[in-house]
Chain A
Amino acid sequence: MATYSTNEFKGGLKVMLDGDPCSILENEFVKPGKGQAFSRVKLRNLITGRVWDRTFKSGESLEGADVLELDMEYLYSDGDMWHFMRTDGSFEQYAVDKKAIGDVEKWLKEQVVYTVTLWNDNAIAVSPPNFIELEVVETDPGLKGDTAQGGSKPATLSSGAVVRVPLFINEGEVLKVDTRKGEYVSRA
């Protein structure tokens, strides 16, 4: 694996730090008026999701991490593992464990394409598409005529997520939801 010097650090670069693969979020060049330069780097630990602030001397380097982000279609869960398949025509399948799925479990829907992060060919994280269409499986009955006024109620979606929806939404309707904020966008 290649090594990267601080002047090559930029958002999205994957490097190894303290034995964990990390993604660089920000690299801020700092330097007193006269004197030595440093890099203040924000990195996301791809295993724990935690964000680290670290300082490096200008010119220091880190080993690159063998991390790939691939599009994969969600297939099914066998209870212990969640199974995904590459969309590049290889039909190669990957099993993702509970830790790597994390909060994304509540946004899983068969045949939808997710981004799966692989480190040394093991899945370590999954991220959902920004918007996803899901069916309402449980909510209070809709209020007729109330299509414009404010007010909201909780609705449980087919994937298990619960989002606030307008009062006029009924069970069985398919909604467009923003997975980043966990918010209702519109009827699909």
Chain B
Amino acid sequence: MSDDAWMGDGDWHPSAEIAMLRERARLLARVRAFFAERDVLEVETPVLGHGGSTDPHLASLSLEATTPGGRERLWLQTSPEFHMKRLLAAGSGPIFQLARSFRDGEAGRRHNLEFTMLEWYRPGVTLDELIAEGDALIRHVLSGDPGPLRRRRYRELFRDALDLDPFTAPLEALRARAETIGELSMRDADRDGCLDLLMSLVIEPELGRGGVDVVIDYPASQAALARKHRDPEDGMEVAARFEIYLAGLELANGYDELTDAAEQAVRFEADNRQRQALGKPHVDIDRHLLAALTAGMPSGSGVALGMDRLIQLALGKESVAEVMAFATPRC
């Protein structure tokens, strides 16, 4: 690039109009007021940590820094989860954060490499109570009425939309459907890979139309950092987590939080083995989190909400870039 390549470069402009940034500030103030009213403490935790997210489907960014401990690899957090759980273990009580989070490679209308996550934790609160609070927060931020809150079971969504049982259908049947619908080869895909594709292409776009949809009772294999339990109705093992959808957009992801250090360590190691199998780089596991869980974290529920998406919906925009000062292509 020549030295004067900056001349005539239109990309210095913000990706959001200034008026939208004013609206954004107003909505963030509403979020803070919502939690102040409910006595949930606002916290700020580091963007960098000694551990990263081992989730095989998240790509963590890392850097090398000179710290009091010498030259170290630090990880840009994909969400403030680990640090916030350490605060819970230290006795913080209910906390929330508007945290800058980073996920490598995520870009598009609904994604940006760095984004604002609204995350909150409620010791002693059930998943059902947290769903109600998440719904209340969304309604507090939106100006219009999004319609009723509806609980939708993962299994029933697949049965209704695809006539397929996501828990019991043979892998070959899942692959065949995924291939037909996505027009791609799913020969080597596992169950969750097929379910993820069908969820993304068929089910998600229809969710949150005419109401706020909360998807519950995910397959146990998709538990991430949630507890698992047997469904009392059909005996299937399910993950105690939920996702909230509005206007075809996934807004929030909540867990009945795993508090068992040994189980957490097993899941971290399993993630890294899966990463290796997929040819993805190893991620340093968060030993501080494991130590905190060993010391004891109170049971409870937590949820992470994509703040930029909620602002996008509240302001009637088509992309998260339109409500961010400088989306990644212009950063």
User: Which residues of A are in contact with B by a Cβ distance under 8 Å?
Assistant: 7, 27-38, 40, 53-58, 60
> CB distance A55 to B107 under 8 Å?
no
Selected contact of B253 from candidates A33, A40, A57, CB within 8 Å: A33
Contacts of B243 in A (CB 8 A): 32-33
Closest to B242 in A: A33
B11 at the interface (CB under 8 A from A): no
| CB within 8 Å for A34 and B55 given contacts A27-B108, A29-B107 | yes
Contacts of A58 in B (CB 8 A): 105
B299 at the interface (CB under 8 A from A): no
Contacts of B250 in A (CB 8 A): 32-33
B48 at the interface (CB under 8 A from A): no
- The smallest C-beta distance from A42 to any residue of chain B, in angstroms, reads 13
- The smallest C-beta distance from B49 to any residue of chain A, in angstroms, reads 20
Contacts of B140 in A (CB 8 A): none
The CA of A57 and the CA of B187, in the complex, are separated in Å by 12
> CB distance B57 to A55 under 8 Å?
no
The CA of A30 and the CA of B57, in the complex, are separated in Å by 12
Contacts of B222 in A (CB 8 A): 34-35
Give residues 95-125 of B contacting A (CB, 8 Å): 105-111
Contacts of B135 in A (CB 8 A): none
B201 at the interface (CB under 8 A from A): yes
Contacts of A56 in B (CB 8 A): 184
> CB distance B197 to A38 under 8 Å?
yes
Closest to B205 in A: A30
Contacts of B111 in A (CB 8 A): 29, 31
> CB distance B184 to A31 under 8 Å?
no
> CB distance A32 to B196 under 8 Å?
yes
B91 at the interface (CB under 8 A from A): no
**What number of B residues sit within 8 Å (CB to CB) of A?**
27
Contacts of B109 in A (CB 8 A): 28
B204 at the interface (CB under 8 A from A): yes
> CB distance A29 to B106 under 8 Å?
yes
Selected contact of B192 from candidates A31, A35, A57, CB within 8 Å: A35
Selected contact of A31 from candidates B57, B189, B195, CB within 8 Å: B57
Contacts of B204 in A (CB 8 A): 30, 32
> CB distance B197 to A29 under 8 Å?
no
- The smallest C-beta distance from B82 to any residue of chain A, in angstroms, reads 16
| CB within 8 Å for A7 and B105 given contacts A34-B55, A35-B196 | yes
Contacts of A27 in B (CB 8 A): 108
B16 at the interface (CB under 8 A from A): no
B224 at the interface (CB under 8 A from A): yes
| CB within 8 Å for A30 and B253 given contacts A55-B182, A58-B105 | no
The CA of A183 and the CA of B111, in the complex, are separated in Å by 38
**What are 7 A-B pairs with beta-carbon distances under 8 A?**
A31-B106, A35-B192, A36-B57, A36-B192, A38-B197, A53-B183, A55-B184
| CB within 8 Å for A35 and B57 given contacts A30-B201, A56-B184, A57-B184 | yes
Closest to B195 in A: A35
> CB distance A32 to B224 under 8 Å?
no
- The smallest C-beta distance from A56 to any residue of chain B, in angstroms, reads 6
> CB distance B107 to A31 under 8 Å?
no
The CA of A40 and the CA of B183, in the complex, are separated in Å by 11
- The smallest C-beta distance from B127 to any residue of chain A, in angstroms, reads 15
> CB distance B196 to A29 under 8 Å?
no
B143 at the interface (CB under 8 A from A): no
> CB distance B57 to A34 under 8 Å?
yes
> CB distance A28 to B201 under 8 Å?
no
- The smallest C-beta distance from B321 to any residue of chain A, in angstroms, reads 13
> CB distance B108 to A28 under 8 Å?
yes
Contacts of A60 in B (CB 8 A): 184
